[in-house]
Structure 1
Amino acid sequence: MTTLVCNCNRTMPLDGAALARALGEPIEVYTALCRREAPAFQRAARAPESTLTVACTQERRLFLELAEATEGVPSPEERPIRFVNIRETGGWSRDAAQVTPKIAALLAAARLPEPDPVPTVRYHSQGRLLIIGPLDATEALADRLGDVWDVTLLALGGAGRQTRGHPVLAGRLTGLTGWLGAFDVQWQEDNPIALDLCTRCNACITACPEGAIGLDYQVDLSRCRAHRDCVRVCEAPGAIDFQREPLAQRATFDAVLDLRPTPAFTQHALPQGYVHLPPTLDAEQRLQRLWGLRDLVGEFEKPKFFRYEQRLCAHGRNEQVGCRACIDVCSASAVRSDVEHNRIVVEPHLCVGCGACTTVCPSGALGYAYPDAAYQGRAIRTLLSAYRAAGGRDAALLLHSQGAGQRLIEDWGRAARLDAAVQGPPARVIPWALWHTASVGLELWLSAIAYGASQVWVLLTDEEAPQYRTALQEQMAVAEAILQGLGYAGEHFRLLSARDARDLAALDAAARVPPAQGVATPATFATQRDKRATLELALDHLIAQAPAPVGAEIALPAAGAPLGTLQIDTAACTLCMACVGACPAGALQDNPTAPQLRFIEKNCVQCGLCVKTCPEHALQRQPRLWLDPQRREARVLHEQPPFHCIRCGKPFGTLKGVETMLARLSAHPMFQGAAVERLKMCGDCRVIDIHTSRDEVRITDL
């Protein structure tokens, strides 16, 4: 392994010897690695070591070009070069003299291997673009995009040109679904003028006495008074027919450019390939969206960001819906309910990889796949252990997105050099980029505290949908309640919000807060693919290290709590065991040898399926963390004496269940006399009694 560190023209007080001790390798600090000391980079790039890390992102492009131009340097596929930002993340901060542990942590994490590959989702765009909007605006954009796209226009008013350069559709848009390469567009042709026949000769416009026909070549039926002069002058082309029946049309397109003020989709994350360009956008935003549209022709693929295990899913059982957290939080409308098959369905082409569904999933049925929880946990453990080994204390882990979040971190670091009011990222704050901030939740936050972090902060920007903020707040409330209940003092979890450079002063102030109490001995466990397993490992360590638990149980907020117990009304419960069949997590169990309802609290995900399934409404959820080791063991929630068959004496059912059944059927005409007595018999004796009674009837008849 080779690591190249540069102090950027001596603007950072880097301690090479301390970094060498922390990383376990010789470290030479360069002053102008991207300029006069570039040969040092070339030598390192040619060296046979398996990993090359450059502590500079400012000149990433230059280094990659230099590597490509240097003879003997392996290709990026053979040996990728890792780049780490140490300048804006801390080297330019006001407390840069204490930043060595953080730099060591970032460099150590950069050495981790890439995440394991996952299946991909493919898009195939052949270049068919539909532009929806006023005819003049759509035609103008079609001219600018026609070199890349085969453009069709869906005209909604406006004034068209005399020369028709692109196919034009007209009518009322009735449906738009799909994604890049597979948009299904439906519209209703309900206007007397058929645009595919119209020659744009303008004879109808001149002939119409009401002025009901505009340069969009459609009749405004609210103004038309049935003079039909337009039909007469359009006799040759035959484009106008007031007797034409409305016609439902349907076509597929690879991408859609929508110029209307309101988008066709209501979700926060619009489908890939759908570009909304409302009139309110400024010039820069319009250019950015149109420029991105030009790149959407061809073959594309992305990781399949999620994995789904139906056996763990708490969404539904027996056509009853319990948990729908993933459906409610998805900002792309990619998750839907399939109650018939007791599952949810995720459309991977709509999924944008935010991971919010996996964060709020209480059972782990939905898991984030790229990178998965095991990889993220390993990265967090590496960060914190390297930070601690270099002498760092009270680390605050700052999770942010790779897009807007990363740009804010860089702006924050640069502002510390230029603005006296901004101090920059504190030395104890370790930024860590995620694909999306909503992809990490309760179990990894608590694992970070168990690994030795003092606090975990999440930086939100305008990228996040409103429901993401709500979900993260709920998860943080649960995590904070657990730590406070265990006696860990201080505020451990916080959402930080910032949009752009105007918010940097507030972000700077929010980061300058006292550390919270952490564990005395950091954990060493490895996070698991299974969400519940990771959560249990973190809880075990935090409980073992707890300064002073406040009681035998910790009450948790009702919203978002994946832990808890069940309260049962024993007077109402008949031990029908419907709840056992509904429980997806194996938390509720029966006893084959006795009429008992048993419960393993560790397994309960608080989905509520048992509550909705219970015909007697005898169950209620109670979110909590029970600190007793018995939470891992089966305990009896309710039991009753068995009912004994009145004929053979064999136990079957429960006394309460049979008594309830007899009471409910007492007035039914089919259950009178001998029939009601049979209800008190076991299944075998009931059959015998029926046949015996029939034989007696036959003998009497003889």
Structure 2
Amino acid sequence: MPLQPQALGALLHENLTLHSALCRREAGAFQQAIQSGDEVVVACTQERRLFAELGQQTEGAVSPIRFVNIRETGGWSRDARQATPKIAALLAAARLPEPDPVSTVTFKSAGRVLIIGALDAAERAAALVADVLDVTIFTTGPGNAGGAQERRYPVLGGTLTSLTGWLGAFELAWQADNPIDLDLCTRCNACVQACPDNAIGLDYQVDMAACGAHRSCVKVCQIAGAIDFQRLPARHADRFDLVLDLRAGTATPTFMQHALPQGYFRWDGQDMAALLRLRELVGEFDKPKFFAYQQKLCAHSRNTALGCNACVDICSAEAIRSDKGRQRVVVNPHLCVGCGACTTVCPTGAMTYAYPRASDQGLKIRTLLSTYATAGGKEAVLLLHSQEHGEALVQELGRAARLGLAQGVPARVLPMALWHTASTGLELWLASVAYGAHQVVVLVTGEEAPQYLDGLQAQMETAQAILHGLGYTGTHLQLLRARTAMDLDALLQGLGQTRPSVPAVPARFAVSPEKRSTLEMALSHLLEQAPLPVAARPEAIALPASGALLGSVTVDKDRCTLCLSCVGACPSSALQDNPQAPQLRFIEQNCVQCGLCATTCPEDALALVPRLLLTPQRGQARVLHDMQPYACIRCSKPFGTLKAIEAMLGKLAGHAMFQGEALERLKMCSDCRVIDLYSSQNEQKVTRL
């Protein structure tokens, strides 16, 4: 690679020594470096395992070790000689501290595996894992050959009614509704031979649709007593640690969600890597608890009314459910796969990504972009990709460029690995543009659930509408859909055809742990640096209705009675009352467009308006509706609105319980109503006396 150690050293403010064969030949130099006590960054990942082992074996090694790939991501590219700013940025980001640890979720597996499928295929699969796993088979038919004569594993049969759970905690429920009891069956095949209808297969279960009720099988099975057509169906349940499902392509698998539970594998009989992973899942395992949830910020439900359902709808693992009784959503941490899509679409920040935190992601993005710009880099493109499929595709592209088969990752494209591509959204993208990124592109490789792509695209359209409304030209945000390295190469080279505009002065704010705070800081900087003159700016930028996190509320004043139920429902204090007068006030900056106010309103008087208001009034309380107060007919104290009281009087005037004095009391405040009722009762007592 055409590295420039002196230039890189100047950019990173330290002396660098170039090691041109950073593999095995210079292991001694590596050992010497890690004994110095200084932080060590190994700018190659090919021999990560070797260097990690050397670090453990080297006596006196005290230096923290970080790894970063500058080879496939920049050094192996057609324009590698211009990649020094990018390499400096990658090295600077690699030196950032590791994210703080978070709480973990524990899985415990004793290795009890359930194999579901045709008996012959299930027994073949069992033979490949039975040396380390405790196998039970649930048969769904004989298959092509049927079961072996030697019964090596417990076999269950009947109708599978449910399978739920996760690694270490799968729960199987089934109904034993077949005349043949597989626990008693000896596989002597006498029933198979005796049946004149060929209704008994080599899974030793009766096909009731084909059975002619000759009962020849019962006669030949008298000694074992395994066949009984009078036996009542019985419900059973059992627990397993792992599930190997062989029904793919032949029947509908049990779990239909895109992200399957950990410990559940679908197997086609060919993918040996899946069996190897299955064999390894015995013991105790921990994973980060990827999310943090704050109910007080959640816009899901208020007063039994349903508002925002974004996290429930987008979760591809079906790990999030609605709990209306407790006015919240509930996340199952064992089913959560850490994609972060729920945090991306959450409008309030009630659901946040805990590992790594948004502030850690923001620091890395700002470090990449600021170092790149300081090193003389121009028109930076931030490439966000997953740390598995996406990273593999980037590395494959680098190797193809090394062989002269592709252009490689351009010098202005800064790759950044994420746990999952759905874990960042509008606030971080806009912050990246504010930091100086000309484009933010998200690489999707086909591993993402369809709803993730819809959610990302909706947020990109919202962010792009904001940028265009402020006068920034070009396309700043894109989804790159690539399945091969050649696809990615063509897409990355195509990015050079546009040159979107960015703020003249890069932002310096730090990404906040709170989503709305980060969004507001990014919007403030983009507005301050907007190319469009103040006089030419619109009052508000219209935003797409899908996925909008910003906007206003309109009130139909002919319908609204100022009951203020919307104020009690609003989770972000965007809608407020006025203790001194019958008023509905609104702070647009607080509105998250969750729709709870419109859902709660008994008069259907409210409607959402997705937009970004550009005037200072966005952060100020303004009156949406006010009304003349209704004064108590006894003490003249205002206790409601004229319209609300008149509407109530009109609805109750014909009711038998509200006639005469009772109807008049509705025109009184609560205190006078009690006094009048008490006085009336005393007068009646005096009259009777």
**What secondary structure does 1:90 align onto?**
helix
Is 1:41 the counterpart of 2:30? The answer is: yes
- TM, length-normalised to structure 2: 0.97
**What secondary structure does 2:93 align onto?**
helix
Is 1:297 the counterpart of 2:286? The answer is: no
Q: Corresponding residue for 1:237? A: 224
Please state how far the C-alpha of 1:695 moved relative to its aligned partner: 2.1
Q: Corresponding residue for 2:381? A: 396
Deviations 1:316-337 (A, max 9, x none): 0111110000011100000000
- The answer to whether the Cα contact below 8 Å between 1:33 and 1:40 also exists between their aligned partners in 2 is no
Aligned with 2:199 (options 212, 216, 220) = 212
- The answer to whether the Cα contact below 8 Å between 2:410 and 2:493 also exists between their aligned partners in 1 is no
Please state how far the C-alpha of 1:81 moved relative to its aligned partner: 1.5
Q: Corresponding residue for 1:60? A: 48
Alignment map for 1:561-640 (pairs within 5 Å): 561-640=548-627
Alignment map for 1:250-399 (pairs within 5 Å): 250-261=237-248, 262-278=252-268, 283=270, 286-399=271-384
Q: Using the alignment, how far apart are the partners of 1:301 and 1:34 within structure 2? A: 32
Aligned with 2:429 (options 445, 457, 460) = 445
Deviations 1:418-471 (A, max 9, x none): 245x21111111000001110010111111111111111100012111111100
Deviations 1:556-606 (A, max 9, x none): 110001000001111111110100010011111111111111111111100
Please state how far the C-alpha of 1:540 moved relative to its aligned partner: 0.8
Q: Using the alignment, how far apart are the partners of 1:210 and 1:480 within structure 2? A: 68
- Report the AA paired with residue 39 of structure 1: G
Please state how far the C-alpha of 1:486 moved relative to its aligned partner: 0.7
Q: Using the alignment, how far apart are the partners of 1:89 and 1:502 within structure 2? A: 15
Is 1:110 the counterpart of 2:94? The answer is: yes
Deviations 1:202-231 (A, max 9, x none): 121122222211211111111211111211
Query: CA 1:48/1:652 → structure 2, altered by over 3 Å: closer, same or farther?
Result: same
Aligned with 2:546 (options 559, 580, 588) = 559
Q: Using the alignment, how far apart are the partners of 2:540 and 2:207 within structure 1? A: 70
- The answer to whether the Cα contact below 8 Å between 2:169 and 2:241 also exists between their aligned partners in 1 is yes
Alignment map for 1:3-42 (pairs within 5 Å): 12-42=1-31
Deviations 1:277-325 (A, max 9, x none): 146xxx3xx1121111111111001000000000000000111110000
Q: Corresponding residue for 1:4? A: none
Q: Corresponding residue for 1:405? A: 390
Unaligned runs of 5+ in 1: 1-11
**What secondary structure does 2:10 align onto?**
helix
Query: CA 1:27/1:514 → structure 2, altered by over 3 Å: closer, same or farther?
Result: farther
Please state how far the C-alpha of 1:267 moved relative to its aligned partner: 0.5
Q: Using the alignment, how far apart are the partners of 2:674 and 2:385 within structure 1? A: 68
Alignment map for 1:162-181 (pairs within 5 Å): 162-181=149-168
Q: Using the alignment, how far apart are the partners of 1:247 and 1:278 within structure 2? A: 31
- The answer to whether the Cα contact below 8 Å between 1:425 and 1:511 also exists between their aligned partners in 2 is no
Please state how far the C-alpha of 1:701 moved relative to its aligned partner: 2.6
- The answer to whether the Cα contact below 8 Å between 1:88 and 1:413 also exists between their aligned partners in 2 is yes
Q: Using the alignment, how far apart are the partners of 1:38 and 1:685 within structure 2? A: 91
Deviates more, 1:683-692 or 1:575-584: 683-692
Please state how far the C-alpha of 1:67 moved relative to its aligned partner: 3.1
Please state how far the C-alpha of 1:413 moved relative to its aligned partner: 1.5
**What secondary structure does 2:254 align onto?**
coil
Deviates more, 1:257-266 or 1:369-378: 257-266
Alignment map for 1:506-585 (pairs within 5 Å): 506-548=490-532, 550-585=537-572
Q: Using the alignment, how far apart are the partners of 1:436 and 1:527 within structure 2? A: 19
Q: Corresponding residue for 1:128? A: 112
Is 1:689 the counterpart of 2:673? The answer is: no
- Report the AA paired with residue 619 of structure 2: R
Deviates more, 1:632-641 or 1:438-447: 632-641
**What secondary structure does 1:67 align onto?**
helix
**What secondary structure does 1:590 align onto?**
strand
Q: Using the alignment, how far apart are the partners of 1:689 and 1:55 within structure 2? A: 86
Identity rate of aligned residues, in percent? 63
Deviates more, 1:493-502 or 1:440-449: 493-502
- Report the AA paired with residue 335 of structure 1: I
- Report the AA paired with residue 539 of structure 1: L
- Report the AA paired with residue 337 of structure 1: S
- Report the AA paired with residue 165 of structure 2: G
Aligned with 1:483 (options 467, 470, 476) = 467
Please state how far the C-alpha of 1:29 moved relative to its aligned partner: 1.9
Please state how far the C-alpha of 1:513 moved relative to its aligned partner: 2.9
- Report the AA paired with residue 218 of structure 2: V
Please state how far the C-alpha of 1:502 moved relative to its aligned partner: 4.7
- The answer to whether the Cα contact below 8 Å between 1:160 and 1:215 also exists between their aligned partners in 2 is yes
**What secondary structure does 1:515 align onto?**
coil
Unaligned runs of 5+ in 2: none
Aligned with 2:174 (options 165, 184, 187) = 187
- The answer to whether the Cα contact below 8 Å between 1:423 and 1:508 also exists between their aligned partners in 2 is no
Q: Corresponding residue for 2:455? A: 471
Deviations 1:320-363 (A, max 9, x none): 11000001110000000001111000000000000000000000
Is 1:669 the counterpart of 2:659? The answer is: no
Deviates more, 1:508-517 or 1:212-221: 508-517
- Report the AA paired with residue 216 of structure 1: D
**What secondary structure does 2:98 align onto?**
coil
Q: Using the alignment, how far apart are the partners of 1:692 and 1:292 within structure 2? A: 82
Please state how far the C-alpha of 1:105 moved relative to its aligned partner: 0.5
Q: Using the alignment, how far apart are the partners of 1:673 and 1:62 within structure 2? A: 93
- The answer to whether the Cα contact below 8 Å between 1:191 and 1:219 also exists between their aligned partners in 2 is yes
**What secondary structure does 1:29 align onto?**
coil
Please state how far the C-alpha of 1:506 moved relative to its aligned partner: 3.0
- Report the AA paired with residue 163 of structure 1: E
Q: Using the alignment, how far apart are the partners of 1:122 and 1:41 within structure 2? A: 36
- The answer to whether the Cα contact below 8 Å between 1:334 and 1:351 also exists between their aligned partners in 2 is yes
Q: Using the alignment, how far apart are the partners of 2:231 and 2:335 within structure 1? A: 38
- Measured on the aligned residues, the alpha-carbon RMSD in Å equals 1.3
Please state how far the C-alpha of 1:73 moved relative to its aligned partner: 2.1
Q: Using the alignment, how far apart are the partners of 1:545 and 1:622 within structure 2? A: 26
